[in-house]
A = this chain, B = another copy of it.
Amino acid sequence: MSFLNTVHLNSVHYTEWMTPEYNSTRHDREGVARAALALLDEVGLADLSMRRIAGRLDVQPSALYWHFSSKQELLADLADRITASIPRADADVPTVARSIRDALFTHRDGAELVLSTYALGLGSATAQAALEDALRRSGAADPAQRAVALLHFILGHATLVQQRMHADSHGAMENGGTLDVTAGLDRVFDLGIRALADSGEPLSAAPTLRRDRA
């Protein structure tokens, strides 16, 4: 009976009279990706299955394979959407680094997703380029390699922090002093970024004070 109902709703002869307002259940690549990203925030990467995404769209699992050739391709698309949200500003290295981290934090398990996807692809080339530009402007040595090192640190750090956040939230917090664990990790991030941003020999002998603002 329930399936009869469904059949009836869907059998709206797909012909000329089917105007946009009658179209409800059919999706495009964009719609699938957006639904998947929303679902990611609700259930997390481990529980983001093709079947669940399909269920959210009121569609059979096999329908997703018209839009994406595999789950891997879908995940790569999501990773690209996350890294694409990095603002492209003429900021200094710590600011760019923080904006990359914040983009990863925008979605649940975002860091892990981008990390898993990064190796295969040109995804997060955006992030790498932004870091390299900022480094070049600051006059740092070896800006290209330094950008890669910064990106690896940001991805590793963000992945670990995001995991820890999720574990602490509905997990076993057996440690009494876990209150400031995130605050401590924030200082670790700043320390790491600053160390990777400027070090080494060349340019300006004065170490501490660059930056002429105020």
Contacts and interface: CB of A to CB of B under 8 A. Distances in A.
Interface of A: 115-116, 118-120, 142, 145-146, 148-149, 152-157, 159-160, 163-164, 166-167, 171, 184-185, 187-189, 191-192, 194-196, 198-201, 207-208
Contacts of A185: 148
A119 B173 CA distance: 12
8 contacts: A115-B156, A115-B160, A142-B191, A145-B188, A149-B192, A152-B192, A153-B157, A195-B199
B156 A152 contact: yes
Given A167-B119, A192-B196, A201-B208, A155 B160 contact: yes
Query: For the complex formed by this chain, how many copies does it contain in all?
Result: 2
B115 A159 contact: yes
A160 B118 contact: yes
A149 B145 contact: no
A157 B160 contact: no
A129 to B, nearest CB: 16
Contacts of A120: 163, 167, 171
Nearest to A194: B199
Which of A118, A145, A156, A184 lies at the interface centre, i.e. has the most chain B CB atoms within 10 A of its CB?
A156
Given A142-B191, A153-B192, A207-B207, 13 more contacts: A115-B160, A119-B167, A120-B167, A145-B187, A146-B191, A152-B160, A153-B156, A154-B156, A155-B156, A156-B156, A194-B199, A195-B199, A201-B208
Contacts of A146: 191, 195
Contacts of A153: 149, 152-153, 156-157, 192
A114 to B, nearest CB: 11
Contacts of A154: 156
